[in-house]
Amino acid sequence: MSDQTLLAIQDLSKVYPNGYEALANVSFSVQAGEFICIIGRSGAGKSTLLRCINGLVPITNGSIQVQGTDVASLSDEQKLLLRRKIGFVFQEFNLVGRLSVFQNVLTGRLGYVNNLQALFGYFGREHREKALSCLERVNISHRANYRADNLSGGEKQRVAIARALAQEPLILLADEPVASLDPELSWSVMADLRKVAKEEGVPTLVNIHDLDTARQFADRVIGIAEGKILFDGTPAQLDSATLREIYRNDLSNPTSRYA
């Protein structure tokens, strides 16, 4: 493992309590600065993979190392601290609707204040400045005082990206971040996500169902089908036979496109 390796996943398997194996022997590692899109049809295991990485679901087998440390070896408290350094962007934004945009982004700073400050929502000047600069980075600072639930979908997702950035994350994970947005908007939000990830040098994993979006933005594509990695390479290396394997019977990414 090189010292640029932020994340190393080895033989990861996930079996849900009902016995369904959603991931089988998944291995890959992620270097500083990489922008990776994970593609696959619905049910392939993309969300399960991201949830395993940030500890939202327990893994069944294998290992996940972040900066050389096996996550399984951490105490519960250390796991919580680690999770606060992993930015997560959801398809449905997951903002607190009754709070302002600014307050939502400040919650990204929770890992940097003590418990009492967190309890009373007290964030000192450096945290407020950081939150504002994150909003500026995604061109949404003019909405800082709006209630989050008054924003459009594209604006909400920019705020969610700003909140993840405010965490000063080691890794950014985004689960279908633009699937709820119309196509034109989805490309501009993806472009902003890629821009900030590259500026910060934060390695980023983005689950994307749509192949064209993945090809447009990824440095590297990982293709998953039935819980297994079928492809790991550059967008240019993706050939039509591989795409047919990944997207078998997927009507929203019809195989006729790769013929």
Ligand X SMILES: Nc1ncnc2c1ncn2[C@@H]1O[C@H](COP(=O)(O)OP(=O)(O)O)[C@@H](O)[C@H]1O
Binding site for Mg ion (CB under 5 A): 46-47
Distance CA 234, CA 220 (A): 4
- Residue 224 pairs in a beta bridge with 229
26/196 with CB nearer ligand X: 26
Name the nearest CA neighbour of 7 among 233, 202, 235.
Answer: 202
Q: Cβ contacts of residue 158 below 8 Å, gap of 6+? A: 138, 139, 140, 189, 192
> What φ, ψ does residue 147 adopt, rounded to 5°?
-65, 140
Examine residue 43 and tell whether it contacts ligand X (CB under 6 A).
yes
Q: Are strands 171-175 and 86-89 parallel, antiparallel or unpaired?
A: parallel
Examine residue 54 and tell whether it contacts ligand X (CB under 6 A).
no
Min dist. Cβ of residue 218 to ligand X (A): 16
Given ligand X, Mg ion, none, residue 223, with its beta carbon under 5 to 8 Å by kind, binds none
Min dist. Cβ of residue 17 to ligand X (A): 7
For residue 156, what are its two tokens?
């909400």
Examine residue 169 and tell whether it contacts ligand X (CB under 6 A).
no
Among 1, 4, 20, 126, binds ligand X (CB under 6 A): 20
Min dist. Cβ of residue 207 to Mg ion (A): 6
Given ligand X, Mg ion, none, residue 62, with its beta carbon under 5 to 8 Å by kind, binds none
| Residue 5: CB atoms within 10 Å | 16
For residue 58, what are its two tokens?
């327990």
The one segment of 37-45, 117-125, 149-157, 247-255 that binds ligand X by CB under 6 A? 37-45
Given Mg ion, ligand X, none, residue 48, with its beta carbon under 5 to 8 Å by kind, binds ligand X
Examine residue 45 and tell whether it contacts ligand X (CB under 6 A).
yes
For residue 95, what are its two tokens?
């903002």
Examine residue 122 and tell whether it contacts ligand X (CB under 6 A).
no
The one segment of 13-21, 152-160, 178-186, 195-203 that binds ligand X by CB under 6 A? 13-21
Residues 220-239 that bind ligand X (CB under 6 A): none
8 A C-beta contact, residue 211 and residue 91: no
Q: Residue 216: in which H helix or E strand, if any?
A: helix 211-217
Among 1, 4, 16, 94, binds ligand X (CB under 6 A): 16
Given Mg ion, ligand X, none, residue 154, with its beta carbon under 5 to 8 Å by kind, binds none
Task: Compute CA distances 96 → 47, 102, 137, 150, whole Å.
Answer: 22, 11, 21, 11
In one letter, which amino acid is 51? Answer: R
Among 8, 30, 40, 62, binds ligand X (CB under 6 A): 40
What are the residues binding ligand X (CB under 6 A)? 16, 18, 20, 22, 40, 42-48
